[in-house]
Structure 1
């Protein structure tokens, strides 16, 4: 176990707040510590906003500690009010349980539940929260907290003006109860979370102190902000998911390769397992020649490989270089589907025997046949990356990539996808 582990976390910028840092550092340096992070199932997949905490569990495991991934099957039925402007929509038990299973499957890609020396653990808080009796909970847990204490939490204070339901107000007690259960079951002494979780984490530490007379610890990670002021984890307004069905590996790769120069090195420290020395060398090279985008390339490679595997990373690079060079025919059908997800698409019947002019107008690529003829003659129309200036050209089976896709480009950047 590395005695420099906690110091490295700080150098990477991964530590925002801790409770009793000296005691926590001593504990981490002297013994294997059990720690947990909770993931509430608010969708059927985690997204890159969850990636920092997931990778923290992995970092702790690699340094000899035992991570517990807690899926919030119970708390997910309520919804955490922390730094949310309004109450979450409540989901059914069936929905939350399905999402919980999906999240459990995703987490197993990042942390090792089979490790011989310190296997990670997984738990679902519905197991104990689903069995709770209200009277017992109020008497045994509620008695430990004053309303004043609960109201002092930033996550609650921010919502008092606009209104907070009792359901959400009680959330911090449920999270505190999770910590107590994980201590009783597994000897868990450390809870990690985003900086918005500080109030919930300290409530759990307070409950451990009062009910078990033990010192628990809390550590929060910084809230990630992008240099341009836009929200981290979104691209064109949509969440970047860890599920390849929801965000393709190519889209995922593109998110990281397009990282702002001001963020690239910081994100390498957050999201990669490259050593600080390796990152320093990349930073030096990057500062000498920012146009090389060496930091973004390293970041996109590390994170895409971590989440989707090496083959998916290499495929994403291949799609990117083929699109950049315009060599569309180099791509297979799966790569076309990834690379052109979201572009205007037109379904062509295989029996349609349309000329290029007719295709362009029928698929609404051109507004009129006159405009279509003009653009073809002027060399503005490309089929699968190759300029086509024949007005009588008819698409044939040989034009279909993988038997089902034809990519039409108008001008420099307007892409359209024909599917057969």
Structure 2
């Protein structure tokens, strides 16, 4: 990888070492846990989605340097990528390539696919993408979202589901929130509190439902005994 310094030391046999320049942001500040902006190789600390998004968000002023430091892409190809970027900056071609290469190195091909599924599910509001995700991926994507395993009973309504995960208050206020379009299930608004949950619509084929109340309050439901 370009940007590395190779050190040779003779001790009876060849010993090889690689050093990396200190990685900093555009302000010259280092990236790391002491600076409060660390990313981790451990999936429990930084999910493939979070790692991917970290590099997708890199500014133009940093992306070429990171491509040289953190990937095995040949320099002529990096030059071509940056030339494409000059023509179509809105596509963020180098950022997406950087994110893909680093995520694949750290988490493998499946980790990269997981990051792409999560990205598609969140930013494209795709129910199909949600349906293809595992429990782990959903919990990684919506880290702050409560996760509940509920028994699906005949006639379970939208209102019932929301109440069981404490997403809305009981009574008239909860009904009003749903009636006014404040609740969505699997990225689709529901406005009838008494609507019965339907498999394939409110309940995805992977047995999950993603509830959202307002703009940012998510709840993940794993339905049992479908």
Specify if TM > 0.5.
yes
Shift of 1:393: 2.2
Q: How does 1:5-16 map to 2 (within 5 A)?
A: 12-15=2-5
Shift of 1:183: 3.0
Aligned length: 217
Q: Does 1:321 align with 2:120?
A: yes
2:68 matched residue in structure 1? 269
2:178 matched residue in structure 1? 376
Shift of 1:405: 2.0
Question: 2-side partners of 1:373 and 1:229: how far apart?
Answer: 52
Question: 2-side partners of 1:340 and 1:348: how far apart?
Answer: 13
Secondary structure of the corresponding residue to residue 223 of structure 1: coil
Q: How does 1:74-85 map to 2 (within 5 A)?
A: none
Shift of 1:337: 3.1
Q: Does 1:415 align with 2:203?
A: no
User: Relative to 1, partners in 2 of residues 1:183 and 1:313: Cα closer, same or farther, differing over 3 Å?
Assistant: same
Are the equivalent residues in 1 in contact too, given 2:139–2:147 (CA < 8 A)?
no
1:405 matched residue in structure 2? 208
Runs of 5+ unmatched residues, structure 1: 1-8, 19-23, 25-32, 36-181, 194-220
Question: 2-side partners of 1:338 and 1:403: how far apart?
Answer: 12
2:31 matched residue in structure 1? 232
Secondary structure of the corresponding residue to residue 349 of structure 1: strand
Are the equivalent residues in 2 in contact too, given 1:344–1:415 (CA < 8 A)?
yes
User: Relative to 1, partners in 2 of residues 1:301 and 1:360: Cα closer, same or farther, differing over 3 Å?
Assistant: same
Q: Which runs of 4+ in 1 moved over 6 A?
A: none
1:350 matched residue in structure 2? 151
Are the equivalent residues in 1 in contact too, given 2:203–2:209 (CA < 8 A)?
yes
User: Relative to 1, partners in 2 of residues 1:375 and 1:270: Cα closer, same or farther, differing over 3 Å?
Assistant: same
Question: 2-side partners of 1:382 and 1:329: how far apart?
Answer: 15
307-316 vs 279-288, which moves further: 307-316
Shift of 1:266: 1.1
Shift of 1:407: 0.3
Could you list the per-position Cα deviations for residues 320-349 of structure 1 after superposition, in whole angstroms to 9, with x for gaps in the alignment?
Answer: 123222112333464453144213114143
1:303 matched residue in structure 2? 102
Runs of 5+ unmatched residues, structure 2: none
User: Relative to 1, partners in 2 of residues 1:278 and 1:378: Cα closer, same or farther, differing over 3 Å?
Assistant: same
Are the equivalent residues in 2 in contact too, given 1:305–1:312 (CA < 8 A)?
yes
Are the equivalent residues in 2 in contact too, given 1:249–1:313 (CA < 8 A)?
yes
Could you list the per-position Cα deviations for residues 224-247 of structure 1 after superposition, in whole angstroms to 9, with x for gaps in the alignment?
Answer: 11125665256xx57533344553
User: Relative to 1, partners in 2 of residues 1:409 and 1:294: Cα closer, same or farther, differing over 3 Å?
Assistant: same
Are the equivalent residues in 2 in contact too, given 1:356–1:394 (CA < 8 A)?
yes
406-415 vs 396-405, which moves further: 396-405
**Which structure has more helix as a fraction of its residues?**
1
The TM-score normalised by the length of structure 2 is: 0.77
Could you list the per-position Cα deviations for residues 145-194 of structure 1 after superposition, in whole angstroms to 9, with x for gaps in the alignment?
Answer: xxxxxxxxxxxxxxxxxxxxxxxxxxxxxxxxxxxxx935xx1445444x
